[in-house]
Structure 1
């Protein structure tokens, strides 16, 4: 659809809505872009949308997702081989996309075999503490927190199973990063914005280890995306919300195209957070998340998400798949809590979700 819905068709649909008649849409509700989920002038709210062969981004991206009602994928006689021929590069984020790369626990395993995650925490200690618990619940075998002077006791009291070390100044960072067993890094939650944060990000990225940049580690480069781009050496994941994204990147276009464009230019995976989170890899792959309940819109949940991604990266999961899995786990754990959930509730719910995934994997062989 490339033009707005007008005239008699629009009038008929508006009357049907006014009479509260159930509307069934074919492919997408009239007036809705299947590529972006945007409304072109007007689109009715369908009770049911029947589509064919495979879903469209507009079924998942807002506001389209809210207008499609129940979406049913119906056969239309197109053979599966056509999917290989068209080679789609965007998917609905679901376990089938990444379950094969989700880390497996082995009888001979040990804690270092499950990865040693490192978080560079700040003086706003809640953010780093939430991320730390999430990383451990995601399966990291060991977790270290490097934190500012005067905060060690606060972090340590919450995390008796973690290693908490003093991070007095920039000069101490090389020693903290020297241990090669610290194989996945997270910087940004609660850190503050300024030159010290930029310098710390540069030091972390120089290691070439899988790194999650969240919150202040992103905002510290506001207006200087090229400066950040020049520092990226290895596997990197950025987890911005819309405001943080806008401080670095062009805001033109829909969420899917913006995330893809930024990921390709930056050479890093982007997890653009929201009710319809988009995960985009530098090679053009993208996934749209769909299971985030509205009660995830509360303080601290982004820190939990960053920690989940860190924990999966520490276990050797590829960056795009780790970002997709973290986003799905985050939504699934939150969905089971219901309204009234707070960020602290999410990480303790992760083991049950992981156990469910393990049962699915065993059934599939």
Structure 2
């Protein structure tokens, strides 16, 4: 049975008096080489807007200057190789990772995916990280229950080619079972499968958000989910909450939306929830 994704419980998103930033987690977003940082910056800003206490963007040393010119509240760390990431993750306060948006497909990027999975941290794998998973079954074998995969239709087909002819709900359930983690298949009707069953979020009809068909919107969604993971939400709840917030923000912006608008619309969405 498919259940509908509902508006989140405001208490699950609230911040309370007496808490400090580390009470709300520290998300790490991994970025790619110079000239390819926009997607990761969108994800990082979304993670910060959704309430992660701290967000760090890890990028190649050559891209630090570029990203520093575009970011203020998001911190920066140089990450050129898996060893750099492993050292960074010695800080256990870094408790959620987002990788894929603008990551790149070079062998060193596959090593970052491997190091992320080996860390056991809650992680959102999107875009280039999904392509790397599809290319290397050994990487996919290290997925774990704290991972969230966020493919669009083409990425899903590359990851799970034998499920291409299976009805979408059954395919997503099969993919989640096979991979051992939460799978979020993006679309106007987004399906999310994991240990809590199969959920549907339909941004159609009166609830439609067609303006999400724009470059960068998926990167924002990945950042939202990573921020919610950092705040301690379980993977499937983080995925469902992220999808709901993403579409609600899009409806508030309306026609003319670009991806940069989505994080900025979140405060109004939160106010509508009574936060």
Question: TM-score w.r.t. structure 1 length?
Answer: 0.70
Write the mapping of 1:13-92 to structure 2, written as runs, cut at 5 A. 89-92=1-4
Decide which of 236, 248, 255 is 2:168's aligned counterpart.
255
Aligned to 2:229: 313
Decide which of 150, 161, 164 is 2:73's aligned counterpart.
161
Cα deviation for residue 168 of structure 1 reads 2.3
Task: Determine which structure has the larger helix proportion and give its number.
Answer: 2
Write the mapping of 1:269-308 to structure 2, written as runs, cut at 5 A. 269-282=182-195, 284-290=197-203, 291-308=207-224
Deviations 1:94-114 (A, max 9, x none): 11xx42672321101000001
Cα deviation for residue 298 of structure 1 reads 0.7
Decide which of 143, 148, 152 is 1:241's aligned counterpart.
152
Deviations 1:229-270 (A, max 9, x none): 421234010011111111110212222111111011111101
Contact 1:193–1:220, Cα closer than 8 Å, also in 2: yes
Cα distance between partner residues in 1 of 2:201 and 2:73: 34
1:151 aligns with 2:63: yes
Cα deviation for residue 295 of structure 1 reads 1.2
Deviations 1:143-173 (A, max 9, x none): 0111012211221222211210111223322
Change (3 A) 1:112 1:208: same
Aligned to 1:325: 241
SS of 1:277's partner is: strand
Aligned to 2:15: 105
Cα distance between partner residues in 2 of 1:279 and 1:346: 21
SS of 1:220's partner is: helix
Cα distance between partner residues in 2 of 1:292 and 1:192: 32
Cα RMSD of the aligned pairs, angstroms, is 1.6
Contact 2:189–2:200, Cα closer than 8 Å, also in 1: no
Cα deviation for residue 345 of structure 1 reads 0.7
Greater relative CO (CA pairs within 8 A, separation 6+) = 2
1:230 aligns with 2:141: yes
Cα distance between partner residues in 2 of 1:314 and 1:197: 22
Cα deviation for residue 195 of structure 1 reads 2.4
Contact 1:260–1:282, Cα closer than 8 Å, also in 2: no
Structure with higher Rg: it is: 1
Change (3 A) 1:341 1:117: same
Cα distance between partner residues in 2 of 1:154 and 1:252: 43
The alignment of Structure 1 onto Structure 2 pairs a total of residues equal to 268
Aligned to 1:121: 31
Cα deviation for residue 199 of structure 1 reads 1.5
Contact 2:120–2:144, Cα closer than 8 Å, also in 1: yes
Q: Which runs of 5+ in 2 are unaligned?
A: none
Cα distance between partner residues in 1 of 2:172 and 2:11: 23
SS of 1:133's partner is: helix
1:345 aligns with 2:261: yes
Decide which of 56, 73, 82 is 1:170's aligned counterpart.
82
Change (3 A) 1:277 1:292: farther
Deviations 1:39-72 (A, max 9, x none): xxxxxxxxxxxxxxxxxxxxxxxxxxxxxxxxxx
